[in-house]
Amino acid sequence: MIQNLPLAFLMGKSPMELFHAGGYIMWPILVTSLVGVTVVIERVLFTLREMSARKPEIVERMLEKVEAGDIDGAIALGRETNDFIARIMIYTLTHRESSLQNAFIRSSNAELTRFGQGMPTLDTCITAAPYLGLIGTITGMMTTFGSMEGDISSAASKITGGVAEALIATACGIAIAVIGLLPFNYLNARWENARHEVEDAGNALEIIIKKQNSVNSEH
């Protein structure tokens, strides 16, 4: 009987059989993994699209035109690209009459929010998956210990099933969390990089505007 207990569920089992052996908790684990995969695919495609649209040279030329006093030219130049930094600058320059700083903050927050969409959901999936696996561990152990009442030799299959449920659910929950961390860290790094690029553009624009204001005040 002892030889039958260990890990018989790993020998010659299909993925579907392993899924069912993991117990009912495998369904919320599956839903969690599908939500996580959906968010990762959407976010990676979004990030790649935004990266491919980046045109730092156009943003630099926009700043040069602003420094030369050609605001309309800078706006027209920015509309030639889908660079998110250029979009921020276009909004800022077209709403500069009310408050340049507030316009920049509003537009940059809107763009950075786009980069952060889905990240809380992915974080929740990564956090929840191991806990769901832990629930599977508890229910599997309950099945195992419940099967030990009476004649143990006749309950060998139930004991093995309980061990299988505990280990499969735990392994799946941890695997989802570990695998999910890789794209999460990548996407988070891209989000932070976008934030730094926005700050750099804002600082450069602020320096130019302050320089122009000081020149105008002298005259």
Q: Please tell me whether the overall predicted TM-score, pTM, comes out greater than 0.75 for this model.
A: yes
Q: Which residues of 6-26 are buried (b: 16+ CB within 10 A; e: fewer)?
A: eebbeeeeeeeebbebbbebb
Per-residue pLDDT tens for 136-161? 888 877 776 666 665 555 555 566 66
- Kindly report the number of other CB atoms within 10 A of residue 98's CB atom: 7
pLDDT over threshold 50, residue 6 = no
Q: Which residues, in sequence order, are CB contacts of 13 under 8 Å at separation 6+?
A: 21
Give how far the C-alpha of residue 70 lies from the chain's centroid of Cα atoms, to the nearest Å: 39
Domain contains 2: no
Mean pLDDT estimate for the chain: 85
pLDDT over threshold 90, residue 123 = yes
Domain contains 99: yes
- Kindly report the number of other CB atoms within 10 A of residue 197's CB atom: 19
The per-residue pLDDT for 150 is 57
Say what percent of the chain tops pLDDT 90.
Answer: 57
The per-residue pLDDT for 152 is 55
Domain contains 6: no
Regarding predicted confidence, which is higher, 17 or 77?
77
Domain contains 105: yes
Regarding predicted confidence, which is higher, 162 or 116?
116
User: 5: pLDDT confidence band, cut at 50, 70 and 90?
Assistant: very low
Domain count, the chain: 1
Domain contains 36: yes
Domain contains 218: no
State whether the Cα torsion 8-13-19-20 is positive or negative. negative
Domain contains 1: no
pLDDT over threshold 80, residue 34 = yes
The per-residue pLDDT for 125 is 96
Domain contains 161: yes
Query: Do residues 87 and 194 touch, judged by C-beta distance below 8 A?
Result: no
User: 99: pLDDT confidence band, cut at 50, 70 and 90?
Assistant: confident
Give 110-141 as a DSSP string.
HHHHHHHTTHHHHHHHHHHHHHHHHHHHHHHH
Look up the domain containing 141 and give its range.
11-213
User: 203: pLDDT confidence band, cut at 50, 70 and 90?
Assistant: very high
The per-residue pLDDT for 101 is 86
